[in-house]
A and B are shown apart, each in its own frame.
Chain A
Amino acid sequence: MEIRPILASLRKHRIPATLIVLEIALACAVLCNAVFMIGQRVADIHWPNAIDELGISVVTVNGADPKLAASDIPRDLAALRGIAGVTAVAAATSMPLDQNPALSDFTTTPDGKTSVNTSIYFLGSGGEQALGLHLLQGRFFNADEYADSGFKDFSSTGHVMLIAQSDAQRLWPGQSALGKTLYANNQSWTVVGVVADVLAQDPKFSGPGGRYSSVFFPLHPDGAMGDYLLRSAPQDRARVLREAMRVLGRLEPGAVVQGSTYASMRGDYFANARSMAWMLVLVCVVMLAVTAFGIVGLTSFWVGQRRRQIGIRRAVGATRSHIMQYFQTENFLLGTAGVVLGMALAFGINLYLMQHYEMTRMPWYYLPVSALALWALGQLAVLGPALRAAAVPPVVATRSV
């Protein structure tokens, strides 16, 4: 296809050509960044979390008398264990993604420094089964450790802890974490086991370094424990949760009992990210539609204006496909100029966002992918007007309009 005549014609229609290029460039720039943001949100929503997310239900009991915890918690657990379909129950102080961060700084030497906030979890007896923690090295807590560990001034009075895999690698790179000691607030604990990564209570609050920085302590029944964890098959969850709420409502009349499945807790945590992602998708779709209609409108006008010229070309031997190709090539040229400008603009916007917002550098492949998308959109948009142009009969050339 000869492109020189097309360029010559575009030079004559500089303003409409510039407008199409500008529209494609803007759409490309916005699309790149919006898709990148959608990708980030989706990645956040899918952060892995090595607990049995689909099997856990959590019932929170707030405002019970802490003095009675030592006798009430075992009684409540026994009643919960009696619910059909429950495979494990335990009490705990907090859950991953419960949006109620309990953080502490741990160091590998008594006077060391750290730059990471670690989420601390206290588990009652059987907590590892109820959560479904994946043990990678070492062992879980034994019965004595559960019985002898208390809670004072936000720390464990016991001497053992489990740590997450990411922490083990960060604190002792290339070594086994087993048997090592961690310090915080003039106290120390021995690592007895390493578990697969569990999310923080509030990863956004803890920052990227604290997302998978979690430690677990054993705890005997204590007033600090507000969560009852129930594990069951996913299909039993709804019924188990209902019965557990009823049981605890009866056993703890003075407390506020609230329950949810872990899956919905996770859903709540990421609700904002999900709605932002959907909003971005909506804007992208509408924006692409507007751009496409803009191209259709301008090209249709163009075709209408050039009916006579098209007729003459047809009369002197151009086939229908020649005419189609002319408009398609023209759109391709405009699209190319648009996406080149658009990619530069997209890169600039990304740099600006990196400076002013918590945004990372956009991987390079977003640029060509968006460019391809807009090229395809342009070709699709031009198809209708081009077909109409191809349908112009040669006889038009002989008529005076």
Chain B
Amino acid sequence: MFGYYLDLALRSLRRHKVLTTLMVLALALGIGATITTLTVLRLLSGDPLPQKSAQLFYPQVDPYPADQPFSRSGKKLPWLMSYVDAMNLLHAGKAQRQTAVALAQVKVMPKTAEGKPFYADGVMTTAEFFPMFDAPFQYGAGWAAADDDSRAQVVVIASFLNDRLFGGANSVGRMIRIEDHDFRIIGVLKPWAPQPRFYALHLGSRNYGKGEGVFMPLLGARADGIEPSMMMSYGPGSSMAHLETSPAIWLGVWLELPDASAVSAYRRFLANYAQQQVALGRFQKSRTALSGLMPWLRSEHVVPDDARLQTGLAFGFLLICVVNTVGLLLAKCLRRSREIGVRRALGASRGAIFAQFMVEAAIVGMAGGVLGLVFAELGLWGIRHQPAQYASLAHLDLPMFLFTFVVALAASLVAGLLPAWRACAVAPAPQLKAS
């Protein structure tokens, strides 16, 4: 039976070529726009570390004076931590793993004579950064906790920097000149760039992109005078040279807490810590926060508003296209009242007529889906040529590819419902009489 409907539908679609083209084109444009924007939105709001994100937490404390709060409303907690607080939390060691992160722009000097110096994004952090964030190593390994305290001049580099400087060879043990100091390479990462780069949030860098080139021990890098990209001061006398003792926030702290009991235990520890600091006179407010990775990204609106607006707009557009398809399908089906009358008189049931028209709608939907896929690829190609920082990452993946057809089929079947219902409601007798 399905084969027969298919044949009928194809005949009918071929008969009204212009109308069919209009329907397919409109649906395809709507689907193309929706899939393009959804792909971007999914990329932007994705989970950067799916296997680990549920165990990663971001603590916040508030060292700002009561009369000059961090945010105008006084509601938001400071994004970052001062060196003293970060080190206190790290040394307390109450989480399974903990690390402090700051970003820096660093000058890298190639060793070859003709090489020109260039700037690379760098991370200043502590030993547990790599195991905590599951950073995969191509060669070598990260540094040990002892290297943090001894201010070792060691560095882990990203694979793209290793390709650029050493042609992708194993460079462990070789030296690299960063900000006019020599560092020994102890590890090379595999290509690794979580999107969004959750650990870079509010640290003065981009939230998306290919990732940083060099990873240095925090204390060692600071001893060489490397300055963080972001520093906010909450009192007089802050200076880049004495950031460790300045009233300034510039470090993000991340914790690995394996289960709910560890989280609530840490919450208690953090609250106690803040109260202690109030008692010591360092803090004036004892409020704290401990956010999971994904809630933290959501609360900080890491996804640009524009991306969400574009998706909303695309869905509005798709809705218009569906309404348009409903209208055109309806026009076609009412025009064929006589044909329906004849089929009904020859014994076709209402259900059969309904199925026939739904098959026709589904064919329009499938054609719209295929063409929509072409439009989506075109749209993503356009986005890749945009200046946005996430541009190069916009690609259609398999789930979105399949989703396109789900959307297309759903849209066309919804659009076909009303015309098919009208068609099966046609009474055969008047139609036959009229001719």
Contacts and interface: CB of A to CB of B under 8 A. Distances in A.
Co-assembled chains A and B: yes
Contacts of B392: none
Nearest to A27: B320
A30 B180 CA distance: 56
B361 interface: no
A357 B117 contact: no
B324 A293 contact: yes
A16 to B, nearest CB: 6
A274 B374 CA distance: 25
A63 B237 contact: no
B313 A280 contact: yes
Given A23-B320, A153-B238, A290-B320, A298 B309 contact: no
A286 interface: yes
A41 B349 CA distance: 56
Interface string A9-30: 0000001100110110011011
Nearest to B435: A401
A15 B313 contact: no
Contacts of B321: 290
B388 A30 contact: no
A62 interface: yes
A22 B118 CA distance: 57
Contacts of B292: none
Interface string B14-29: 0000010010001001
Nearest to B242: A153
A272 interface: yes
Contacts of B313: 30, 34, 280, 283
B43 interface: no
Nearest to B387: A271
A246 B324 CA distance: 60
A23 B318 CA distance: 11
Contacts of A23: 320, 323-324, 327
B330 A16 contact: yes
B287 interface: no
B259 interface: no
Contact of A153 (B237, B310, B422): B237
A221 to B, nearest CB: 19
Given A22-B323, A280-B313, A287-B317, A254 B328 contact: no
Given A63-B179, A290-B29, A19 B387 contact: no
A140 B435 CA distance: 93
* Interface secondary structure of B, over-half rule: helix
Nearest to B385: A275
Interface bracket on A = 35 or more
Interface residues of B, number: 51
Contacts of A272: 306, 386-388
A98 interface: no
B323 A63 contact: no
Interface in A277-297: 279-280, 283, 286-287, 290-291, 293-294, 297
A32 to B, nearest CB: 11
Q: Which of B68, B118, B327 neighbours the largest number of chain A CB atoms within 10 Å of its CB?
A: B327
B237 to A, nearest CB: 6
A256 interface: yes
Given A15-B418, A272-B388, A283-B317, A62 B29 contact: no
B319 interface: yes
B331 interface: yes
Contact of B388 (A275, A291, A297, A357): A275
Contacts of B397: none
B426 interface: no
A30 B387 contact: no
B323 A283 contact: no
B107 A301 contact: no
Nearest to A257: B116
Nearest to B241: A153
A186 interface: yes
Nearest to B179: A63
Contact of B387 (A37, A268, A279, A290): A268
15 contacts: A15-B418, A15-B422, A23-B320, A26-B319, A63-B117, A65-B180, A115-B72, A152-B239, A154-B238, A256-B107, A271-B387, A283-B317, A286-B29, A297-B22, A305-B334
Given A16-B331, A63-B119, A287-B317, 19 more contacts: A29-B316, A30-B316, A65-B180, A113-B68, A153-B237, A154-B233, A154-B238, A256-B116, A256-B117, A279-B310, A283-B313, A283-B317, A290-B29, A290-B30, A290-B317, A291-B320, A291-B324, A304-B335, A358-B305
Interface of A: 15-16, 19-20, 22-23, 26-27, 29-30, 34, 37, 62-63, 65, 105, 113, 115, 152-154, 185-186, 254-256, 268, 271-272, 275-276, 279-280, 283, 286-287, 290-291, 293-294, 297-298, 300-302, 304-305, 353, 357-358
Interface of B: 19, 22, 26, 29-30, 33, 67-68, 72, 105, 107, 109, 116-119, 179-180, 233, 236-240, 305-306, 308-310, 313-314, 316-317, 319-321, 323-324, 326-328, 330-332, 334-335, 386-388, 418, 422
